Amino acid sequence: MGLSNDRIRFNVGGRIFETTATTLANAGRDSFFGALFDENWNLSQPEVLFIDRNPDCFAVLLDLLRTGDLNIPPNIPERLLHKEAMFYGLIDHLRTAKWGPFDGNRLHLSRSVTGIAPGDGTAIRAGPDGGCCVAHGSVVHVFDWMLEEHPTINLDYQRVNDVGWIDSGNIVLSACERLGRGDGGMGLFSSSSGELRYKFQVSHDNQIKSYSAGALSFSPDSKIFTSCKGRSNEYGIGVWDQITGKQLDFFYESPGWSLGDADKLQWLSGKNCLLVATLFPRKDNCYISLLDFRDKNMVWSWSDIGFLATAEEKRVRDAIAMEESNSICVVNEFEDLGFIDLRMDGGGSSVRWSSRSRLMKSKMPDEPCYPKLALHESQLFSSMNDSISVFCGSDWVLTSRLKRSYGGSICDFSIGGDRLFALHSEENVFDVWETLPPPII
Amino acid sequence: MSNQKKRNFQIEAFKHRVVVDPKYADKTWQILERAIHQIYNQDASGLSFEELYRNAYNMVLHKFGEKLYTGFIATMTSHLKEKSKLIEAAQGGSFLEELNKKWNEHNKALEMIRDILMYMDRTYIESTKKTHVHPMGLNLWRDNVVHFTKIHTRLLNTLLDLVQKERTGEVIDRGLMRNVIKMFMDLGESVYQEDFEKPFLDASSEFYKVESQEFIESCDCGDYLKKAEKRLTEEIERVAHYLDAKSEEKITSVVEKEMIANHMQRLVHMENSGLVNMLLNDKYDDLGRMYNLFRRVTNGLVTVRDVMTSHLREMGKQLVTDPEKSKDPVEFVQRLLDERDKYDKIISTAFGNDKTFQNALNSSFEYFINLNARSPEFISLFVDDKLRKGLKGIADVDVEVILDKVMMLFRYLQEKDVFEKYYKQHLAKRLLSGKTVSDEAERSLIVKLKTECGYQFTSKLEGMFTDMKTSEDTMRGFYGSHPELSEGPTLIVQVLTTGSWPTQPAVPCNLPAEVSVLCEKFRSYYLGTHTGRRLSWQTNMGTADIKAIFGKGQKHELNVSTFQMCVLMLFNNSDRLSYKEIEQATEIPAADLKRCLQSLACVKGKNVIKKEPMSKDIGEEDSFVVNDKFTSKFYKVKIGTVVAQKETEPEKQETRQRVEEDRKPQIEAAIVRIMKSRKILDHNNIIAEVTKQLQPRFLANPTEIKKRIESLIERDFLERDSTDRKLYRYLA
């Protein structure tokens, strides 16, 4: 193709645009432009190709193809732009240009979405492509990456305990059972339509039993883990296959230990173990253990039974395993971080609390929320009241603090799809934090 | 105001939905449908992509996605039905071509239709989880064309026919074939497997079943293997040319099964051309082919290996047990080495140095070498022969090669101590008679034995070398301190350490006066320099060079043994001596004397004395005179003793007995070592452990071990357990 032939003129909704086939080739074959210039279609039009679309949006999208950068003028509503991008098949281009790769120290607040649900939020979970879902009471609100809300989902209108994304199209929801009705449990839903696709069964001695499902976790080899409470003391951790939906395993809790009431499950790929943490105030004591399902063995465990009497403030409120440093990070209600070495048997070893305690006992808000922890590529995040702290480096130095003034305390937050979502307890508002696209130079 | 009341007008409820033109959907679909028709009729040049795309977009946007989706399926189905009729109508050879042409058209049309319906593909189909446009188009082609009853079997038969034709040597259109097979692959793995691969494999299996039967009736093993190999490469090529790469494994396994696995036994055992025949005739190509083909099938190599092993064992057994062949020990060992070389070469050239085959070779040799109890002796004799004369003029490298090969045979021996015994004897002879060709070769072999069997095995052999060296120094010292001895006969004494050498009971003879004087001088010199030692003369092992003048005045130097020297020296004083006189004068033991006289009188060309009466054997009444008529073209005449190279029967018995005798302390030592660490052990375990520990030296006989245990119990090293008689206890 000669240079002169490379030039193309469009008439979009009355405005003339001139560009090159090379620029349009950036759109890829699976787009309007890719098909338009395919040799199948006889492109013998004289000089100007007419497209019956909005010229302002076309200008933005053409610049996106030219530079890879997205610049939305204030006069164009985002929804309109998304719709135009859908028409041209450029929606994926738009999404990747919208925000940069996640970095806890370069986050800025992109949007706040006001909630409508009554009651406190239970959980917020980031989806793999930048969407999120928020569990309130008995329903789950689903938002795609454009923050458009999809039909809400629920499992028999029972109280939702946890939600999680299997992939961008599927959400798992765990709910309480209603006594004697066989409701609740765990279900798989379509994220776009909110339909129930599959309900996971638990069976003991080949008999299907109803159960309450608690905390959820997924492993890369397509397993779902959840803490289960049956009615006849069938407490423990259930394991299902994501693809077949069949129950694979059940790890019964041993006397004097807690698994079925767990607050947090975390799959550790390197150790091939599941972390199970049951914490105060759900139970009087804290229990943290690592389970190996291959030989049905609790390979590591820690509990604060007998350690407490003196230091009331050192109560573990959340825990997260950090495989790289072979330790478990815990946090108390004053946002003191503590570390437990995984290489030592947990029985005797105590928590090494960092001395970074903040003197804010006096400033407790009316409705406090317990701190939560998250880990993303060697950055540690901890929520406390209305802010989230970011810690980096081998000594976990505080490097950033994300804060928004209203909406009350943060009751849960989640990182995924290069975004951080923080759910506030009072107003059911959630904040979306993104990393800006990389600088020009 | 009043006017308004009177109007009594009605406010219409604002409830009607905004309805687009009700015919809008139909109209738009008609445009799109017409376009699809045009695309299928290859008349798309007038179509505007932008317009069609926009129309499809609008239909989805206005919730007519369902109508668009079903419409597209229906239109495409009707087109494909038409096409399948056209394909069906194609006659003979043009059938495949027509199918391929229509398939290409369909693919192009499908791509264009997908372009138009891209927005539907992305949104409506995505959210309703329906089948996407492209796979849907393929499914429709599969259902309406490939699975169309009048095409389905015809297509398969045509393809299989073409393959069959190619197998029988005809040239087919591989490009067309590849395109059609590619169509099956594009339609999905299951379609390819169900509609083509499986019937293809079945037909191939049938074909090769018949063909292999034909071949095996008419060909010998070598030819059959060649044909099988050719077929195999043909099938692999076929896969590369027009089948899915995943089929290669399947089709080759069919050929392997039908052509090789099913006829394996028959091929290997084929008369006059089977494996044994190939081995006998060194058919490396055929053997290599057999190896490469047989290793593709389960148990293939096991079969080959088993036949080779049993052949080797049979052949080896004949070799070592044939009394004819074991007459000459050197040749016997040479034959073994040749066999080994032969099979080494077969394994390295034809069997790709397969470890399991090497192991089979080794175990076979180990098996049959030990069938002949004299193998250790023969191997030692072979080495003796090589070191005496065989290595003359051979480069050092080659010497090493020969020695390495001998070591290989040595490794197979179970009774290594017997070998040691013989080796010691032979080495002593070589050293004392100064016959050894290369000191370096001797030492190199000892190093090899040392690495193989450890220090203990060779310490005495090394002691022999040291003795030789010390003796040289001693002699230098002796003559240095006795300068008057440079005149007259020269005496060279080798002082041997008792124990290191295989000394036989010494029966000193009467030495001639000239010599015994020298001997006395040496004795006093030696004992003067070394205190606390005892010398005893081993006259049976010495040699002498004597000068003799015969009747006509010709001078000769005779190289004889000490005994012979003693006899000959007697003739300096008398012309005729009777056997009795000689025996009295020399006191040589009768057997040795007879042998010695025999070599002096009865060997043609070397008979320096004459015997009366003339006969082969020496009688007690014979008498001897100097043979004045003795002539020889050489100045130096070597008069060998008539010694059996190989041991005679009684000697063999004796060696055997000595070996057994030597084993006793070794067995006892092993028992004590084991018991010392175990304290308590039962009978069977002792036997097992002792056998294991002694394995590197010899195979211990269980009854002998038992006797040794008894003996140790008697001597209070061990005791039997008082309750369990099978248990032994170590007594510290």
pLDDT of residue A307: 65
Could you name the CATH architecture of B652-730? Orthogonal Bundle (1.10)
Could you name the CATH architecture of B149-298? Up-down Bundle (1.20)
Q: How many CB pairs under 8 A join A and B?
A: 45
pLDDT of residue A140: 92
pLDDT of residue B598: 80
pLDDT of residue A1: 40
Q: Nearest by CB to B108, which of A32, A40, A50? A: A40
CATH homologous superfamily for the domain B22-145: Cullin Repeats (1.20.1310.10)
Q: Nearest by CB to A89, which of B47, B50, B122? A: B122
Contact state of B119 with A50 under an 8 Å Cβ cutoff: no
Interface with chain B: mutation pick from A8, A10, A41, highest number of B CBs within 10 Å: A41
B542-638 under CATH 3.30.390.10, yes or no: no
pLDDT per 10-residue tile (average), chain B, 732 residues: 57 62 84 90 82 91 90 93 88 86 92 92 86 93 90 90 90 90 91 92 93 89 90 92 90 90 88 86 89 88 90 88 78 88 90 90 89 85 80 73 86 84 83 76 85 81 86 85 76 81 72 82 85 80 81 80 84 82 83 80 76 77 81 78 59 79 86 86 87 82 87 86 84 76
pLDDT of residue A2: 42
Residues of A in contact with B44 (CB under 8 A): 40-42
Q: Which residues of B touch A (CB under 8 A)?
A: 44-47, 49-50, 53-54, 57, 108, 111-112, 115-116, 118-119, 122-123, 127
Contact state of B122 with A42 under an 8 Å Cβ cutoff: no
Residues of A in contact with B123 (CB under 8 A): 86
Which residue would you say has higher pLDDT here, B487 or A325?
A: A325
Residue of chain A whose Cα is closest to the Cα of B45:
A42
A372-383 average pLDDT score: 91
pLDDT of residue B208: 92
Interface with chain B: mutation pick from A9, A10, A40, highest number of B CBs within 10 Å: A40
Q: Nearest by CB to B127, which of A32, A52, A192? A: A192
pLDDT of residue A358: 55
Q: Do domains B22-145 and B149-298 have the same CATH topology?
A: yes
Q: Nearest by CB to B115, which of A40, A42, A87? A: A40
Contact state of A87 with B57 under an 8 Å Cβ cutoff: yes
Residues of A in contact with B115 (CB under 8 A): 35, 38, 40-41
Distance between A386 CA and the closest CA of chain B, angstroms: 37
Contact state of B49 with A36 under an 8 Å Cβ cutoff: yes
pTM of structure: 0.68
Contact state of B115 with A38 under an 8 Å Cβ cutoff: yes
Query: For chain A, what is the HEC assignment?
Result: CCCHHHEEEEEECCEEEEEEHHHHHCCCCCCHHHHHCCCCCCCCCCCEEEECCCHHHHHHHHHHHHHCCCCCCCCCCHHHHHHHHHHHCCHHHHHHHHCCCCCCCCEEEEEEECCCCCCCEEEEEECCCCCEEEEECCEEEEECCCCCEEEEECCCCCCEEEEEEEECCEEEEEECCCCCCCCCEEEEEECCCCCEEEEECEEECCEEECEEEEEEEEECCCEEEEEEEECCCCEEEEEEECCCCCEEEEEECCCCCCCCCCCEEEEECCCCEEEEEECCCCCCCCEEEEEECCCCEEEEEEECCCCCCCCCCCCCCEEEEECCCCEEEEECCCCCEEEEECCCCCCCCCCEECCCCCCCHHHCCCCCCCCEEEEECCEEEEEECCEEEEEECCCCEEEEEEECCCCCCEEEEEEECCEEEEEECCCCCEEEEEECCCCCC
Distance between B66 CA and the closest CA of chain A, angstroms: 17
Residue of chain A whose Cα is closest to the Cα of B60:
A87
Contact state of A89 with B119 under an 8 Å Cβ cutoff: yes
Residue of chain B whose Cα is closest to the Cα of A53:
B54
A229-244 average pLDDT score: 86
Residue of chain A whose Cα is closest to the Cα of B115:
A35
Contact state of B57 with A41 under an 8 Å Cβ cutoff: no
Assess whether pLDDT exceeds 50 at residue A362.
no
Domain map of chain B by residue range? 22-145, 149-298, 468-539, 542-638, 652-730
Distance between A68 CA and the closest CA of chain B, angstroms: 22
Residues of A in contact with B112 (CB under 8 A): 40-41
Distance between B124 CA and the closest CA of chain A, angstroms: 12
pLDDT of residue B8: 66
